[in-house]
Amino acid sequence: TRVRPSSKRCAVIGGSGFLGRHLVEKLLERGYSVAVFDIRQSYELPGVTFYQGDLCDKEALRPALKDVPLVFHCASPAPASDDRALFQRVNVQGTRTVIQACTELGVQKLVLTSSASVVYEGADIKNGTEDIPYAAKPMDYYTETKIEQEKLVLQACDKEGGLLTVAIRPHGIFGPRDPQLVPILVDTARRGKMKFIIGDGTNLVDFTFVENVVHGHILAAEHLRPESPLCGKPYHITNDEPIRF
């Protein structure tokens, strides 16, 4: 007989990353035991079991997702990469593999970290709701694969006793240990390269504090049930007001 998985167990795919690690720390604080799956290990923490592997490899994923009712998928190649094949392989093909592994292992819930850029077409969006259609012309290849990835995960939602899914769409994330946003801004400024403004200086850009993004993920996970309106839906996540640059 199969051991009934404890409801306080979960797995974080991409748990070594910036967002992933903040999520893991908050989950531990809330009493979860956490399996981290990632191609690299960046820390050790009590309560975390680390599994190293590529999410495109189902056999490597299986031990990390076994007997786990809840999976967070927040792994992605760095958006700045220009390796199209890598985005396709990890974000699209790899996400198919993650969904298959979840389904085969009887995982109950899958929470995806998507991106607000999936609806961005170049014009400012203020108070945008989730009814906005996907961008017909995504701004880059990363975003194109984030759209495909989100569709795959949301379409996999099965309220009749199968896998339940939801997606969280942050835009820029900032906070402690942020490897990209603030360090790149500071570095660019130090090198005297802040002379250019993209747009006319009134563009809206949204940044969300990492702990708010984490909070959104955990709320979504804990409220995802077969009868809940969250099933198969994306949610924008933001601070109160966009920042005007």
**Interface contacts to ligand NAD, rule CB under 6 A:** 14, 16-20, 38-40, 54-56, 74-78, 90, 94, 113, 115, 170-173, 179, 181
Residue with tokens 């809206």: 204
- By the 8 A CB rule, do 234 and 154 touch? yes
What is the rounded CA–CA span in Å between residue 173 and residue 119? 17
Active-site residue 120, yes or no? no
Nearer to ligand NAD among residue 111 and residue 164 (C-beta): 111
CB of 42 to ligand NAD, least distance (A): 7
- Looking at the chain, list the stretches that DSSP marks H as alpha helix, in order from N- to C-terminal side: 18-29, 58-65, 84-87, 94-105, 141-155, 181-190, 210-223
CB of 38 to ligand NAD, least distance (A): 4
What is the rounded CA–CA span in Å between residue 214 and residue 207? 14
Nearer to ligand NAD among residue 78 and residue 189 (C-beta): 78
Nearer to ligand NAD among residue 139 and residue 159 (C-beta): 139
- For residue 36, give the nearest of 89, 8, 7, 74 by alpha carbon: 74
Nearer to ligand NAD among residue 128 and residue 172 (C-beta): 172
Contacts of 97 (CB under 8 A, 6+ apart): 55, 56, 57, 58, 61
**Residue among 32, 120, 141, 142 flagged as catalytic:** 142
CB of 179 to ligand NAD, least distance (A): 6
CB of 65 to ligand NAD, least distance (A): 13
**Any idea which residues carry the catalytic annotation?**
142
